[in-house]
Structure 1
Amino acid sequence: MEYRIPTLANAAVATILLGLNALMFVIVPLVLVPSSAWWLLVLLPCALATNSMWFLAHEAFHANLMPGKRLNEVLGRALCVCLFVPFVVVRFGHLQHHRFNGALVDRPDLYDANRTWPPLAWIGYYFQLIGGFYLQEALSFFVFLLPRRLIPKAVRAGLSAYDEGSARIRDLAATTFAKPEIVRAARVDLVLALALHGLALWLYGPWWWAFALAVALRAFMVSFANNLPHYGTGTADVKYALNLRLPRAVNFLLLNFYCHRVHHHDPRIPWTRLPRVMREQGMEFDVGYMQAARAQFKGPIALNALNGR
């Protein structure tokens, strides 16, 4: 089935979110803070909008953001520059997530106790959960500063082939990230991201720490949301994910992202249609959002324990 991209709705949401970034990066330090330091509190709602921004970029990953490949990518890249993550990397990672959902490199909640020392798995898991996932995505920008011929080696060194799916993701990443157009796009976006964040730090002056805290909150929110609809689920069905129950207004503000199983069944469905398609297909919510969020703190799960459930 073909779905119409909700161009006006996406343009409106993008305008609001990019406006919040203009507020966070420029208007607060340049216009508001000089009159009163209390204006720094505006950074909190700006940072709390992070996941809506991430989920709108996610629409661009699936070419659901804007009609036309060029416009879709430009807007997706703009959102990612504001988040200080490389669009080419996060798009690749998410599309491989759909192909290889269950591969260990894609599932921080799972580990093979025969290959990974459990305490190390727990440390790595909580690092990922509280900000490490975002940090890894942000740092991947700097791989593209290497000579292009060295990028595949760096990618292979950075990604482990825990299982067949992980090995395939690593091989695809090594090939994809060395393509000239990918390297060029990542380098341009890195320059823009560094300029934007560097400008903000300079404008905040003695209040730089407030901006840094807002970015740290962004890192936590993105990392905490990354694996939430997949925590504790199996590895056999690549289309499986949890549908998480939220108040309708909150679900809307998060672009219905947590109607997640229906999204995995058909990534072409725009965010505006997900609840309706979910009802039409007879799907229900599996668990409440807060219950799923608390469950993540139970820690990583050994594969043999998961398979024994």
Structure 2
Amino acid sequence: MSVHKRTVRWSNSQKGFGFIQPSNGGEDVLNARRWKRILGKYSTPTRLRSIAELAITALPLIMLWTAAWFTFSLGYAWASLLIAIPASGFLVRLFMIQHDCGHGTFFAGRLANDWVGRIIGVLTLTPYDYWRRTHAIHHATTGNIDRRGIGDVDTLTVREYRALSWWGRLKYRLYRHPLIMFGVGPAYLFLLQQRIPVGLMRNGWQPWASTMATNLAIAVVVAALTWFIGIKAFLLVHLPITLLAATAGVWLFYVQHQFEHTTWERDESWNLHQAALYGSSHYELPVLLRWFTANIGIHHVHHLCSRIPYYRLPRVLRDHPELRDVGHITLLQSFRCVRLVLWDEAQRRLVSFREIRARDFQEAAPNLAAPSS
């Protein structure tokens, strides 16, 4: 079942636009650009609101971390693990603040954005300047088949997958397996891969400086905490929080672009605004999860106008309800996205290994049934 109406055409209405049937031509590009201009008025951050958002995220995280350590020190490891669940939610939310800082949207001034982002990066194990650059590449190339590889989930086309050797197919299937993608993968990404500026090693000294400075700061914090509470307590308190938050973060990023009727185009047909609007999902979560994820589920609007602070994204949907149906998926529908692993250029949608296998069998069946001469 389709979980998304991919491309929509907009017509004039009393509010400016109305939702009508899907279209797939130059008019879509024109209207995606028009939405970009309309959404610009939401891009001004409010300093007091941003400070309040930072406070109500960082302070509860510190309190929950302390509570987890205290209960562990009393011998209640099970209670510490339970506390790790809400604590990881606040860590995810802190990462979303870092994300807004990287886009220059959390504060009006770049200096405030950069230094708040760098400090948060120590807690999220994410070197700010390195991540900001790779994430900018992701925004600039999203949905472009010919420019894959940085800041996105590796996705092959059906043709590319079929051209692989058995070993190549096995590696891709392992990479796409849920236990790897959402189990081993997040731990590898945040604990190991982000310790070295992979992919930007030729782009000057800034990615290296950001990564090494973040690594040094992380080492200092870890050393101080292990000296104070011991290595065992630190690992058993902090690792569950970090790993839960990492898994949630990878899941969110996956669902925001890996849904059935996302959009991918070859370079000659690709358009930035159209890819932003139609290649990103509106992941509608329950209210509590929406708060912990800082409205990142309104991802199609974010990609179309990344200068909007996360706390203004719900206002966009209230003012322009016609945007709600673009790329819309629910929490229940999102679990089906896990099986979508290959881009079918002919059908213009993501498909599963099972679907490709069934298609290959159907194509081979007539040949097998034909009598031998």
With the length of structure 2 as denominator, give the TM-score of the two structures: 0.66
Question: For the residues of structure 1 that align with 2:250 and 2:329, how far apart are their CA atoms?
Answer: 19
Unpaired runs of 5+ residues, structure 2, are 1-39, 266-273, 351-373
Which moved further from structure 2: 274-283 or 198-207? 198-207
Post-superposition shift, 1:45? 1.2
1:192 pairs, out of 211, 214, 217, with 217
The residue aligned with 2:188 is: 135
1:243 paired to 2:282 = yes
Alignment of 1:159-238 (within 5 A): 159=199, 173-176=200-203, 178-179=204-205, 181-202=206-227, 203-207=229-233, 208-232=235-259, 233-236=262-265, 237-238=274-275
Preserved contact between residue 182 and residue 247 of structure 2 (Cα < 8 Å) = yes
Instruction: Tell me the amino acid that sits aligned with residue 80 of structure 1.
Output: G
1:16 paired to 2:56 = yes
The residue aligned with 1:65 is: 106
Alignment of 1:49-88 (within 5 A): 49-88=90-129
For the structure 1 residues 198 and 217, does the alpha-carbon distance in structure 2 shift closer, same or farther, using more than 3 Å as the test?
farther
How many percent of aligned residue pairs carry the same amino acid? 16
The residue aligned with 1:150 is: none
Preserved contact between residue 256 and residue 272 of structure 1 (Cα < 8 Å) = yes
SS at match of 2:275: coil
Instruction: Tell me the amino acid that sits aligned with residue 194 of structure 1.
Output: A
For the pair shown, which has the larger CA radius of gyration, 1 or 2?
2
For the structure 1 residues 211 and 136, does the alpha-carbon distance in structure 2 shift closer, same or farther, using more than 3 Å as the test?
closer
For the structure 1 residues 308 and 184, does the alpha-carbon distance in structure 2 shift closer, same or farther, using more than 3 Å as the test?
closer
The residue aligned with 1:258 is: 297
Preserved contact between residue 67 and residue 83 of structure 2 (Cα < 8 Å) = no
Residue by residue, what CA displacement relative to the aligned partner does 1:30-86 show, whole Å, maximum 9, x if unpaired?
x55434526513222111323222211111111111221111111111212101121
Post-superposition shift, 1:107? 3.9
Post-superposition shift, 1:258? 0.8
Unpaired runs of 5+ residues, structure 1, are 145-154, 160-172
Post-superposition shift, 1:304? 4.3
Question: For the residues of structure 2 that align with 1:304 and 1:193, how far apart are their CA atoms?
Answer: 44
Preserved contact between residue 129 and residue 223 of structure 1 (Cα < 8 Å) = yes
The residue aligned with 2:18 is: none
Residue by residue, what CA displacement relative to the aligned partner does 1:142-168 show, whole Å, maximum 9, x if unpaired?
336xxxxxxxxxx4xxx5xxxxxxxxx
Residue by residue, what CA displacement relative to the aligned partner does 1:78-133 show, whole Å, maximum 9, x if unpaired?
21210112112221121111100024324426213135733321211232333514
Alignment of 1:260-279 (within 5 A): 260-279=299-318
Question: For the residues of structure 1 that align with 2:142 and 2:232, how far apart are their CA atoms?
Answer: 44
For the structure 1 residues 269 and 131, does the alpha-carbon distance in structure 2 shift closer, same or farther, using more than 3 Å as the test?
farther
Question: For the residues of structure 1 that align with 2:71 and 2:255, how far apart are their CA atoms?
Answer: 36
SS at match of 1:267: coil
Paired residues in the alignment total 280
Question: For the residues of structure 2 that align with 1:274 and 1:263, how far apart are their CA atoms?
Answer: 8
How large is the RMSD of aligned CA atoms in angstroms?
Answer: 2.8
Post-superposition shift, 1:295? 2.0
Question: For the residues of structure 2 that align with 1:54 and 1:183, how far apart are their CA atoms?
Answer: 21
With the length of structure 1 as denominator, give the TM-score of the two structures: 0.78
Question: For the residues of structure 1 that align with 2:175 and 2:346, how far apart are their CA atoms?
Answer: 18
Question: For the residues of structure 2 that align with 1:215 and 1:250, how far apart are their CA atoms?
Answer: 18
Which moved further from structure 2: 203-212 or 221-230? 203-212
Preserved contact between residue 5 and residue 270 of structure 1 (Cα < 8 Å) = yes
1:5 paired to 2:45 = yes
Post-superposition shift, 1:137? 4.6
Post-superposition shift, 1:184? 2.6
Question: For the residues of structure 2 that align with 1:95 and 1:254, how far apart are their CA atoms?
Answer: 20
The residue aligned with 1:104 is: 148
Post-superposition shift, 1:195? 2.3
Question: For the residues of structure 2 that align with 1:215 and 1:267, how far apart are their CA atoms?
Answer: 26
